[in-house]
Amino acid sequence: MDKGDKNMKTRIFNIMQYQNHPETGAQLLTEEQIKSGLDHKSIDKWAYILHDKDVYHEEDELNDPTKKAGDKKPPHWHIVLQFKSAVEIGVISRWFGVPENFIEVPKGFGRDKFLDCVQYLTHEDEKQQVLGKYRYPDEEVKASPNFNFRKKLDDRLKNLEKYGRDISYKDQIMLDVMNGRKTLRDVESEDPVFHQKYLKELQAKRHYFLQKCKPPALRINFYVYGLGGNGKDAMSRYLAMALFPEAENIDDLIFPVGAGNVTFEGYDGEPILIWSDRRSLQLVKSLGGKENFFNVFDPIPRKIRQNIKGSSVNLLNTINIVNGQETYEDFLDNIVKVKNDKGEYVVGEDRGQSYRRFPFIIPVNDKYFDILYNRGFINNNRAEFCFYDLIARINGKFSDIAAFCGNDEELQMEAAKECLEPLKKQYDIVIKEKTGKPKSKEELHQWLSDNGIGKILESDETNCNDEEIFKIDDEDIYLIDDSPIGEFEMPDDEIEGK
C-alpha cells in the first residue's frame, strides 16, 4: 500500500491510527470520531476494528530494539472505506481527524483491494497466521448495514478456488444472471443503478441462460371463455395464483403475451403465459401457422425457438392460459379447420390434436364458472380426446372478487386458493400422473418386456396378410393444412369487422 498525498483522488482507503499516542498517551482517535467520519452518504461501504491484542514479534524487535517480542502493541484502529466515486485523501483526513500519512491507498490490479483490506481486519489470512498474529473474532468487526463482510469473504474464497482469481462485483452479477441464479428483476431490485448502467449486458447474459435451458417436461394449457364483462382476464390471473400459491410476487411468474409481431418480446423465462382475448384463427396466424401453434401448446414441448425482433427466444413456460369469447368447441375446432373440395372450411380429422392440447376448459358465466377436464388426457386414450367431464361448478364471478380484493395480493392469493381449490387438486393429480419420479433403465426394460414392446412379430401374429401389412388405416390419416407458414388464410367471418 502507498501513502497518498492529500490531492490524490480514489475510491478505496485504508486507515490505521492509534487509540492513544504510544509515547504521550494523548487520545488520538475514538470510536465516536470514527462513527462521525462514517456519517457521509458518499461512502458506499465500510468496516473497522480495534486491534488491542496484537503483540510484537521477533522481526519487530530486530527492526526496533525498543519493541520487545511478546510485548503488546498499543491499541490501534483499522478502518476500510469504499466510496461511490473518487474523493481526495485530504477529505478523509478532515472527516476522521487523521493525518494524511496514516491513510493508505491500496494498490494492485486484478484483485478486490477493498476485500483485501477487510480480510486483514481479523488476521485470518494464512500469511498473517504464519506470523503468529492474533485471530480476531468476526464479532469484533463493525461493518456497514449493506455489507455482510463474512459472506463476501467466503464467496470470494469459493471464486478463487473455482476460477483461480478474484471476481469483481460486476463479473459476479453477470455470472449469476448467465447461470440463472438471478433474474433481471432480481438485479433491478438489489442494485437499480447497476441495472440501469449495464442493462444491455445483463439482457445478453439472461438471453444466453434462457437459450441453453431445456424445455419443461410437461406443459399444461387452459382455455377460459365467456362473454365480455364476465371476468375472463381476472379469472386468468387468479388461476395463475391458484397454481402457484407460494409465489411472493405473482407478476414475476406471468408473461402477458403481446399481439402482432411482438408476441414474445420481453419474455424473461416466466413459467406462465397469458394470452388475453384471443380468437382461435388469429392466435394460429400470430404464431405463423398451425404447425407452430401445435409446438407452442404441445403438452410435451420440444426446444423450438420463437422469433423476436432481431433474435429468438426459448419458451420455458409450464403453463399457457388462453382466454377469449369463442366457445371451447369453436375455439378448438377452428384451429384444425381445412378447405374441402368445394372451398369450404370444415373441421379436419385431426381435431384431437387441438383438443388434447387443452386438458382444462373453464367456461365463465355471469354468476358462476365451470371447470372441465379432458377425459382422454388423463386416460391417454385418443378416442376420448374430444370429451370433457365436469369437475365442479363454482358460484361467483372473478371480476367481483377482483373488485373486492383491489391491489392486495395477499387477499387475491387467498381468494384464488379458496375458489379454485378443486382445479388445483385436479392439476396436482395430473402433474403427479404425467411426471412422477424419474424412471430407471431397469424399470424401462421391465416395462418393455411386460408390454411386449420391441418384440419382433412373426407373420402369423400380425392378424393380416402380406398385402395388408402396409395398408394405412383411415384413423391414422390426418388432413394437413399445407398453406405456407405466415400465409394462413382466414375465413371471411373471422376477418375483423365482418
pLDDT band at 6 (very low <50, low <70, confident <90, very high): low
Query: What is the reported pLDDT for 167?
Result: 76
* Residue 321 cell numbers, joined: 392460459
Q: Is the pLDDT of residue 300 over 60?
A: yes
DSSP secondary structure code for residue 20 in this structure: B
Question: pLDDT, tens digit, for every residue of 420-439?
Answer: 999 999 999 888 888 866 67
Query: 456 or 272, which is more confident?
Result: 272
Range 139-161 average pLDDT: 90
Question: pLDDT, tens digit, for every residue of 11-59?
Answer: 899 999 999 999 999 999 999 999 999 999 999 999 999 999 999 988 8
CA angle 289, 295, 301 (to 5 degrees): 175
Query: What is the reported pLDDT for 464?
Result: 47
Query: 496 or 462, which is more confident?
Result: 462
DSSP secondary structure code for residue 489 in this structure: P
C-beta of residue 415 within 8 angstroms of C-beta of residue 401: yes
pLDDT band at 79 (very low <50, low <70, confident <90, very high): very high
Q: Is the pLDDT of residue 440 over 60?
A: yes
Considering only 78-87, 215-224, 328-337, 470-479, which range has the smallest mean pLDDT? 470-479
- Looking at every residue in the chain, the average pLDDT score rounds to 83
- CA–CA gap between residue 38 and residue 144 (Å, rounded): 9
Give the list of residues 6+ apart from residue 446 with CB closer than 8 angstroms, or none: none
- CA–CA gap between residue 206 and residue 162 (Å, rounded): 22
Cβ neighbours, 10 Å, residue 236: 23
Q: Is the pTM of this model over 0.75?
A: no
Maximal C-alpha separation, the chain: 114
Question: pLDDT, tens digit, for every residue of 162-204?
Answer: 877 777 778 889 999 999 888 888 888 888 888 999 999 998 8
pLDDT band at 288 (very low <50, low <70, confident <90, very high): confident
Query: What is the reported pLDDT for 481?
Result: 36
Range 309-336 average pLDDT: 88
Range 79-107 average pLDDT: 93
Residue 347 has phi, psi (to 5 degrees) of -70, 125
Range 280-300 average pLDDT: 89
Range 464-476 average pLDDT: 40
Question: pLDDT, tens digit, for every residue of 132-147?
Answer: 899 999 999 999 998 9
- CA–CA gap between residue 16 and residue 50 (Å, rounded): 10
Considering only 107-111, 203-207, 392-396, 413-417, which range has the smallest mean pLDDT? 107-111
Question: pLDDT, tens digit, for every residue of 330-373?
Answer: 999 888 876 666 666 666 667 788 899 999 999 998 888 999 99
Which residues are registered as beta bridge partners of 76? 18, 51
Q: Is the pLDDT of residue 477 over 50?
A: no
